[in-house]
């Protein structure tokens, strides 16, 4: 919008300057460069000189002849017929004469010593109305030109707002894939990008909710069926040891359902934490050493060795959620690794780059992007953990998104198994 404000102000100033100059030039061209009163003053002064050469008795007839010959409203009268003050009577004898304005127009009065006590009077047509009409036309032209100039600036904005409005209507009608094709020649580029980000986020949330509903309904059928089978078997059996065995299985199925529901509900409310991040600084090497220390029981139980390659740079992030993401990646590696896990953490000018590699069976290339979808699990090999619902890597992707980063899956070049790369934006304590 800043770009629009600057363009609007610049166009307003430019249009006023340009239109003012054009109208001024037009006004100067449409008006005679000579003053009309100056010309009439010279004419009446010339007539007075001719009258001075004639006898007084012939002057009245000569003035009448001049008026007819030149088609001028020219008269020759006594000064006493004028109801003027002595000062104004004296002004008639100046070089420019005396100009009076009346209802019918302007009157030019002129006299000198040779004509006294008479004076020449010339009536001029009133050009005020014509000038007023010209002023109105010029004013209308100015505002019309200003509207045209402003239209060139406002039209692109109105067009882009119309595009935004149509996109919003389509999105509201249920087309969550609607996006705005951002133009370089737009004043509201930030608004359009924000709309696209919002639409992408909503589309993602809707897809996750649909996927969660379908996955939950699918995954919960098995423990419910087991409960129903165990309950029917316990009711029909008279053997108490068998009944206790059925009840034990039912309790395990209930625990499994409870764990599943907790995981699903935790993931459903995960997005609420996006605006509750608490950034703090730490040294990277000691931070990753603490994470590995917390995971050492699982690593030892799976008899896995871990190699850590980390610099000791100071990083700035939400350390709780970053640790959650790294822990999920290492847990995932523990579930599939055979003997070795490699963890790397480096910092470049713009990003913190964390990689977790293992020597397990790896991930099929067509599933590199699918593994971050909630509830996705490959069919060719199962997680060794008893309670896996395909949410660990989905949480990693959300944490990466919260930190303005991304996570990638691939093949490990040095161990041959899976390789996960978490790349987040490098922040500073003054910027969140």
Q: How far apart are CA 323 and CA 333, in angstroms?
A: 15
Do 227 and 251 have their domain in common?
A: yes
Do 329 and 207 have their domain in common?
A: no
Long-range contacts, 150-153 (Cβ 8 Å, 24+): 150/8, 150/11, 150/12, 150/15, 152/11, 153/7, 153/8, 153/11
Q: What is the CATH number of the domain that holds 193?
A: 1.10.287
* Overall pTM surpassing 0.85 (yes/no): no
In this prediction, residue 342 carries a pLDDT of 94
Final residue before a domain boundary, out of 125, 144, 160: 125
Do 94 and 48 have their domain in common?
A: yes
Do 305 and 210 have their domain in common?
A: no
CB contact set of 312 (below 8 Å; sequence gap of 6+): 283, 284, 285, 286
Do 240 and 210 have their domain in common?
A: yes
Query: Is residue 161 in a domain?
Result: no
Encoded tokens for 237: 């059996």
In this prediction, residue 20 carries a pLDDT of 67
- The residue assigned the tokens 């449409």 is 30
In this prediction, residue 384 carries a pLDDT of 42
Do 304 and 411 have their domain in common?
A: yes
Do 304 and 408 have their domain in common?
A: yes
* pLDDT tens per residue across all 432 residues of the chain: 566 566 666 766 776 777 667 666 665 554 444 455 677 788 888 888 888 888 888 888 888 888 888 888 888 888 888 888 888 888 888 877 788 876 666 788 888 888 888 888 888 765 545 555 666 777 777 777 777 777 777 777 778 888 888 989 988 888 888 888 887 777 778 888 888 888 887 887 777 677 666 666 666 777 787 788 888 888 888 888 888 887 888 888 787 777 777 766 767 666 666 667 788 899 999 999 999 998 888 888 889 999 999 888 888 888 888 998 999 999 889 988 999 999 999 998 888 999 999 998 888 888 888 888 777 776 555 444 445 567 788 888 888 888 889 999 999 988 989 999 999 988 766 555
Name the domain count of the chain.
3
Query: Is residue 171 in a domain?
Result: no
- The CA-atom distances, in angstroms, between 405 and each of 183, 192, 270 are 25, 21, 17
Buried b (16+ CB within 10 A) or exposed e, 53-73: eeeeeebeebbeebbeeeebe
Do 292 and 390 have their domain in common?
A: yes
Query: Is residue 413 in a domain?
Result: yes
Beta-carbon count within 10 A of 414 CB: 11
Query: Is residue 62 in a domain?
Result: yes
Tell me the pLDDT tens digit for each residue of 290-319.
Answer: 999 988 888 888 899 999 998 888 888 888
In this prediction, residue 385 carries a pLDDT of 44
Beta-carbon count within 10 A of 92 CB: 22
Do 301 and 339 have their domain in common?
A: yes
Calculate the CA 258 to chain-centre distance.
46
Contact assessment for residue 122 and residue 104, using Cβ atoms and an 8 Å cutoff? no
Q: What is the CATH number of the domain that holds 289?
A: 3.30.565.10
Q: What is the DSSP string of 77-125?
A: EEGGGS---HHHHHHTTSSS-EEEEETTEEEEEE--TTTTTEEEEEEEE
Final residue before a domain boundary, out of 270, 304, 327: 270
Q: How far apart are CA 275 and CA 320, in angstroms?
A: 14
Give the residue numbers spanning the domain of 344. 278-425
Do 113 and 58 have their domain in common?
A: yes
Element (H, E) at 297: helix 296-301
In this prediction, residue 36 carries a pLDDT of 56
Contact assessment for residue 266 and residue 321, using Cβ atoms and an 8 Å cutoff? no
Q: What is the CATH number of the domain that holds 47?
A: 3.30.450
Do 287 and 375 have their domain in common?
A: yes
**SS3 state at 183:** coil
Tell me the pLDDT tens digit for each residue of 107-122.
Answer: 888 888 888 888 888 8
Query: Is residue 382 in a domain?
Result: yes
Query: Is residue 327 in a domain?
Result: yes
Query: Is residue 16 in a domain?
Result: no
Final residue before a domain boundary, out of 75, 108, 125: 125
**SS3 state at 388:** coil
Do 243 and 288 have their domain in common?
A: no
Query: Is residue 400 in a domain?
Result: yes
């Amino acid at each position: 919008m800043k770009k629009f404000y600057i363009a609007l102000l610049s166009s307003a100033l430019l249009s006023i300057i340009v239109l003012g100059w054009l109208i001024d030039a037009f006004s100067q061209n449409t008006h005679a460069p000579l003053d009309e009163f100056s010309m009439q003053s010279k004419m009446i002064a010339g007539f007075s000189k001719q009258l001075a050469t004639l006898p007084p008795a012939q002057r009245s007839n000569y003035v009448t002849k001049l008026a007819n010959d030149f088609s001028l409203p020219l008269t020759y009268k006594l000064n006493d017929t004028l109801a003027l003050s002595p000062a104004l009577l004296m002004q008639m004898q100046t070089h420019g004469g005396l100009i009076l304005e009346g209802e019918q127009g302007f009157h030019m009065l002129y006299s000198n010593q040779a004509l006294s006590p008479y004076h020449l009077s010339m009536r001029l047509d009133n050009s005020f109305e014509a000038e007023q009409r010209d002023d109105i036309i010029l004013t209308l032209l100015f505002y019309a030109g200003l509207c045209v100039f402003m239209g060139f600036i406002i039209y692109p904005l109105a067009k882009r707002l119309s595009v935004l409005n149509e996109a919003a209507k389509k999105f509201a009608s249920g087309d969550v894939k609607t996006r705005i094709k951002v133009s370089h020649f737009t004043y509201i580029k930030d608004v359009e990008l924000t709309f696209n980000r919002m639409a992408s986020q909503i589309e993602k949330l809707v897809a996750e909710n649909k996927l969660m509903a379908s996955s939950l309904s699918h995954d919960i059928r098995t423990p419910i069926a087991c409960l129903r089978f165990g309950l029917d078997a316990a009711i029909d059996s008279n053997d108490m040891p068998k009944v206790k065995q059925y009840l034990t299985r039912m309790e395990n199925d209930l625990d499994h359902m409870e764990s599943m529901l907790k995981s699903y509900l935790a993931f459903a409310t995960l997005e609420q934490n996006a605006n509750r991040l608490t950034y703090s600084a730490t040294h990277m090497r000691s931070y990753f050493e603490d994470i590995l220390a917390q995971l050492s029981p699982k690593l030892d139980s799976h008899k896995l060795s871990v190699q850590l390659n980390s610099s000791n740079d100071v990083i700035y992030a939400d350390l709780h959620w970053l640790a959650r993401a790294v822990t999920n990646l290492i847990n995932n590696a523990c579930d599939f690794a055979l003997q070795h896990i490699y963890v790397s953490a480096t910092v470049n000018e713009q990003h913190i780059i964390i990689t977790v590699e293992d020597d397990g069976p790896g991930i099929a290339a067509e599933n590199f992007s699918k593994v971050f979808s909630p509830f996705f699990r490959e069919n060719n090999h199962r997680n060794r953990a008893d309670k896996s619902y395909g949410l660990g890597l989905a949480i990693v992707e959300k944490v990466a998104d919260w930190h303005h980063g991304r996570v990638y899956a691939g093949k490990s070049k040095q161990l041959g198994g899976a390789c996960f790369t978490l790349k987040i934006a490098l922040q500073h304590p003054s910027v969140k």
